[in-house]
Amino acid sequence: MPAGVAFRFLCDGQALGRWALGAFATRRVAPGLYRGTSLFDGGKLLVRPVGDAPRLTVRYFIGTRRDALEARILARVHKRGARRCVVSLEAQRPPRMGAARWRRLAACHEVEVLLIQAQLERGRG
């Protein structure tokens, strides 16, 4: 998969709703802003993906209120030649996040990377 294809997929707020377990089934609520549903507790989450094309990174600003979104997740696309890349997800742990919630987030990211890979390989990116 070319790095540019993976990057565009990660920037797509609608596509985010097919792989992000904490923001499933995203819907656009404003330009660049999406609302998804947690598969864990049914809670609603707002996400604003902001891509940096030269660096092949996407920062996800997350929260429950538009005026209080925090940059918590970073996706990186690592180019491995013309037709190959590796995607990684990095999370920042806010001080108020407990150990159990942090472990769940880490486990989710392992699965989410696999979902991203599967969708890109099937041509859904």
* pLDDT, tens digit (0-9, with 9 covering 90-100), for 37-55: 999 889 999 999 999 999 9
Domain carrying residue 31: 3-121
**Contact call for residues 108 and 91 (beta carbons, < 8 A):** no
Question: pLDDT confidence of 115, banded at 50, 70, 90?
Answer: very high
Q: What is the CATH number of the domain that holds 30?
A: 3.30.530.20
For 101-109, what is the mean pLDDT?
Answer: 88
Q: What is the pLDDT of residues 70-82, one digit of tens each?
A: 999 999 999 998 8
For 80-93, what is the mean pLDDT?
Answer: 91
Task: Indicate if the pLDDT at residue 123 is higher than 90.
Answer: no
Note the pLDDT of residue 92.
Answer: 86
For 8-34, what is the mean pLDDT?
Answer: 96
DSSP E strand boundaries for 19-56: 24-30, 33-37, 44-52
- Domain count of the fold of the chain: 1
Task: Indicate if the pLDDT at residue 2 is higher than 60.
Answer: yes
Question: pLDDT confidence of 104, banded at 50, 70, 90?
Answer: confident
Tell me which residue of 8, 2, 38, 24 sits closest to 115, measured CA to CA.
24
Note the pLDDT of residue 124.
Answer: 62
Size of the chain in residues: 125
